[in-house]
């Protein structure tokens, strides 16, 4: 990759992020939080893989999934972000209410 292509792509990405942050702050906040959660998870898995590799026991494929006990807090924060996004755009809120009404009719 050439430096000019990298720099132009970085500039275009920064401009797109600034535009989204200005036009839809709720969506930008949600995307930022999602990226932070993804990066945090990636960091944890990377550190675990390095520790397991250096310890000589790379059995992470066969181990049971682990929970860290913070699922309810993360879930509450995620639902709060979803509610904020719905309230920020009337069209989205109307569509969500329509979908919820359809779901309640079928049960």
pLDDT in tens, 43-70: 888 888 888 888 765 454 555 555 555 5
**What was the pLDDT predicted at 96?**
83
- Secondary structure letter of residue 60 according to DSSP: T
- Secondary structure letter of residue 65 according to DSSP: P
| Dihedral over alpha carbons 17, 21, 26, 31 (to 10 degrees) | 20
Region for residue 56 given its phi and psi (left: phi exceeds 0; alpha: psi -120 to 50; beta: otherwise): left
Assessment of whether the complete model's pTM goes beyond 0.75: no
pLDDT in tens, 19-47: 888 888 888 888 888 888 888 888 888 88
Structure tokens at 51: 């520790």
Q: Domain map of the chain by residue range? A: 71-107
Percent of the chain at pLDDT > 70 equals 80
């Amino acid at each position: 990759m050439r430096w000019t292509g990298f720099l132009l792509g970085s500039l275009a990405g920064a401009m797109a992020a600034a535009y989204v942050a200005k036009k839809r702050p709720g969506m930008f906040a949600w995307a930022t939080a999602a990226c932070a959660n993804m990066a945090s998870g990636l960091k944890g898995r990377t550190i675990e893989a390095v520790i397991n590799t250096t310890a000589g026991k790379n059995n992470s494929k066969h181990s049971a999934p682990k929970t860290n006990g913070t699922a309810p807090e993360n879930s509450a924060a995620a639902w709060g972000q979803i509610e904020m996004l719905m309230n920020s755009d009337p069209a989205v809120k109307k569509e969500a209410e329509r979908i919820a009404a359809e779901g309640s009719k079928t049960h």
